[in-house]
Amino acid sequence: MPYDLKSRNVLITGGSRGLGAVITRLFASEGANIAINYVSARAPADSLAADISKEYGVKAIVVQADCGNLADCARCVQEAVEGLGGIDVLVGNAGWTQFGTFADLDALTEEEWDKCWAVNVKGQHALLRAALPTFNANPDGGAFIMTSSVAGVSQGGSSMAYAITKAAQLHLMKCLASTQGPKVRVNAVLPGLLMTEWGLKYSPEMIKSIEDRAALKMATDLVDCANAFIMLAKNSSMTGQKIQVDAGLVISSP
């Protein structure tokens, strides 16, 4: 049956800016209490927490953690559980990339490859591992939704390391979904080009090129993308699925 988000507790990593902030506001508008994770800039997280508390009357806390650090991932979940009184939905939105020429095998350093792997793959695994006991103890279980990317299902993106780690993240999602039920639902949202702080790192020429390649001739709308997270959180019959919200940038054959 549909899953009501009112009074649920939601942890959103990377939840203070960009897509994460839009996801945060939409969950709060559904009546959910929110733990907003940030890595270094506390002011935007505090401001957003104050805004949604005032506008929607929900509880909102902020949690500092680097989601490329496994110990931080575990602490982030624990502080959210303690601060909100539990967790029902976990949105693994934090991600990392370094922009570089896609075909250049020397574009990223070994350390940058490792950071992509740590944040985009290992960190997601660590987050669910930490949340799993709480999810399994919840009467209605829990939902884990990853922010992936169309880079994970194509041969392009901000860097080769990003595309490869996002592809690995999607396989992780399917492995977790197939092994961690029946009370845990695991899904992913795959955005296309988003006009966030990260997306705006592309040159105007590259942004225009990406928009022209999309079937809908536009960048992905942030609210459209964020709404997919709400749908997945509410849907009690979906797990192991990737939902692509990319304005038709990558249309795969069956």
What is the per-residue pLDDT across 35-77, written as a single tens digit (0 to 9) for each? 999 999 999 999 999 999 999 999 999 999 999 999 999 999 9
Average pLDDT (185-189) is: 98
- Of 188, 173, 184, 176, nearest in space to 228 by CA: 188
Q: Judge contact between 240 and 173, C-beta under 8 A.
A: yes
Q: Which fold has domain 9-235?
A: Rossmann fold (3.40.50)
Catalytic residue selected from 56, 59, 115, 162: 162
Pick the catalytic residue: 59, 115, 122, 166? Answer: 166
pLDDT digit string (tens) for 194-247?
998 888 888 899 899 999 999 999 999 999 999 999 999 999 999 999 999 999
Q: pTM surpassing 0.85?
A: yes
Q: Which of 16, 148, 158, 159 is catalytic?
A: 148
Residue 221, judged by CB atoms within 10 A of its CB (0-12, 13-18, 19+), counts as middle
Confidence band (pLDDT; 50, 70, 90) for 115? very high
Instruction: Tell me, yes or no, if 237 is annotated catalytic.
Output: no
Please pick, among 149, 159, 174, 234, the residue that the annotation labels catalytic: 149
* CB neighbour class for 240 (10 Å; exposed up to 12, middle 13-18, buried from 19): middle
What are the residue boundaries of the structural domains of the chain, listed by start?
9-235
Mean pLDDT value across the chain: 95
Told to judge if 148 belongs to the known catalytic residues of this protein, a careful annotator would answer yes
